[in-house]
Amino acid sequence: MLFGQFLEHFHRQVYGGVFDPGSSLSDRSGFRTDVIAALRELKIPIVRWPGGCFASAYHWRDGVGKNRLPSLDKAWGVEDPNTFGTDEFVAWCRQIGAEPYICTNAGTGTSEEMSDWVEYCNLKDLGRFARMREANGNVEPFNVRYWSIGNENYLGGEIGAKTVEEWGPLVRESAKMMRAVDSNLKILAAATVNGNWTPPMLKDAGKYLDYISIHGYWDALWQHGTHPSNYLHCMARVQQPEQQIQKAIELLTQTGFGEHIKIAFDEWNLRGWHHPGFPGGGANNLAMIRERDDNDLNETYTMADAVFSASFLNGCLRHADYVHMACMAPVVNARGPLFVHPKGIVKRTTFHVLKMYSDLLQPNVVQARLVSDSLNIDQATVPALDALATCSNDRKQIAIALINRHPELPAHWKLDIGQGTKVERARVTVLSGDSTDAYNDVAHPDRVVPDSHELPLGIGTLELPPHSLAIVQASV
């Protein structure tokens, strides 16, 4: 589940993104069919919804049934029509082939409200909320297995933020009530790897949890969305996600939960979302809402985003014994890999990274050793290259993800896959651009696309272009 995605009621992700009733490109349910087709290409395993910050003031009953009324979105300062709710989300997940993952309201909501939501989704002929779902046209349960208690409730700006003393008991009682409704749930809880937030929560509620939920954005653009960091300064941060993972592993180990609880990096992206004035920020200032359009500027999503995202995935895969889930945030529009506009879609650079990883890698990560030059950026020093090796179950197929972070110089790779190993055939797929700032947009949707070609037998050496990702596949 490391190639998961995330969908929030923020700006044009849901309305005008995945859900657009009345569009000639939508089906009878209002789902954009071109979006569904593109996301199926990514083989997305799981999608987290409805937030994000939106979840901390969202009451699920507003978004079910026939007589839905709009409500004020306190996080983003706009009115949500509630026409896309639980039933629609689950149906859309089934359309793209993903498992639904629901983030509950631990801000203004209650433990009972969370457990009622589980009842609505998962029970049959038992309880008034299960019968409510049946009356709404879904006789069979949704069987939503993954549920998160809260979203970033450790941040003061979050609606319904909690103190350290409040958080552990709330998580404990919420998890108990949710499991009382359905004992087969996988339950997550919002956590951090710094400070004193997480250890007390684990002490109180750890025995009820399956995952801790951690988040990361490394180019903070919350207030200054039109000034994204350049390529080199993005590369200076490529090791920070893996450092965060290592801290999370240490935290779980030190608290005695290293075997029982896993890590979900269930909200991540290089670029932070632009939302000046949060929370709210728009009720009396429409200019702040319009500034959110800056998130949709395709020229922001360059080879920096592609190379950083590949580095992130390599870090998760290297620690896949602990990191069992990751969700890129979001899946469409804003910082997402797919840009959706009224007439079609654009597959951004990160879309192609995700597709290469989901299509081309083998299922087992193999221990690998990498020696490379360094890339010096101001006060930071990072390896110029990164690599991840995978193999098939019978060890006869290998796939190696190779990343060249250098902005200008090609990488000369020398691969050693073991003595006595004979390569029978090999192929390389390369994602690069004509510059570090190359991007795809409506006018030029294919400026950055993968290119594949056969390799000579042996693949002892390989040259790859600067600012690139390549996956070498071979039969051995």
Peptide bond into 52 cis (omega under 30): yes
Task: Supply the pLDDT for residue 282.
Answer: 60
CA dihedral defined by 304, 305, 307, 313, rounded to 10 degrees? 160
**177 SS3 class:** helix
Sheet holding 451-455, edge to edge: 364-366, 385-391, 397-404, 468-475, 425-431, 451-455
Return the H-helix or E-strand segment holding 187: strand 186-190
Q: Could you tell me the two tokens for 437?
A: 């700032």
Domains of the chain, first to last: 4-360 (3.20.20.80), 364-475 (2.60.40.1180)
In the DSSP assignment, the letter for residue 108 is: S
For residue 89, the one-letter residue type is: F
Which residue ranges of the chain lie beneath pLDDT 70? 281-284, 458
Instruction: Judge whether 436 and 302 are in contact, CB under 8 Å.
Output: yes
List strand residue ranges (DSSP E) for 405-466, in order: 411-414, 425-431, 451-455, 461-464
d(CA 55, CA 8): 8
C-alpha 89 chain-centroid distance: 16
Q: Which residues pair with 15 in a beta bridge?
A: 19
Task: Supply the pLDDT for residue 332.
Answer: 98
- The number of C-alpha atoms within 13 Å of 16 and in the hemisphere containing its C-beta is 12
d(CA 174, CA 112): 7
Instruction: Judge whether 229 and 297 are in contact, CB under 8 Å.
Output: no
Task: Give, in order, the Cα–Cα distances in Å from 148 to each of 48, 55, 134, 182.
Answer: 9, 10, 24, 14
Task: Supply the pLDDT for residue 281.
Answer: 65
Locus of tokens 């026409």? 83
Residue 77: exposed, middle, or buried by beta-carbon count in 10 A (0-12, 13-18, 19+)? buried
63: Cβ–Cβ under 8 A, 6 or more apart, which residues? 82, 84, 85, 86
Q: Could you tell me the two tokens for 444?
A: 């030029």
Task: Give, in order, the Cα–Cα distances in Å from 165 to each of 103, 105, 218.
Answer: 21, 18, 28
Task: Supply the pLDDT for residue 226.
Answer: 74
At residue 303's C-alpha, the angle toward residues 33 and 399, to 5°, is 80
Q: Where are the alpha helices (DSSP H) in 319-454?
A: 349-360
Burial 407-444 (b: 16+ CB within 10 A, else e): beeebebebebeeeeebeebbbbbbbbeebebbbeeee
Q: Could you tell me the two tokens for 363?
A: 């299922």
Q: Could you tell me the two tokens for 104?
A: 């509950």
Residue 16: exposed, middle, or buried by beta-carbon count in 10 A (0-12, 13-18, 19+)? middle
Instruction: Judge whether 172 and 111 are in contact, CB under 8 Å.
Output: no
Q: Could you tell me the two tokens for 216?
A: 């990361």
d(CA 315, CA 317): 5
Task: Supply the pLDDT for residue 460.
Answer: 78
- From the list 81, 60, 53, 107, the residue with the least C-alpha distance to 277 is 53
Instruction: Judge whether 63 and 82 are in contact, CB under 8 Å.
Output: yes
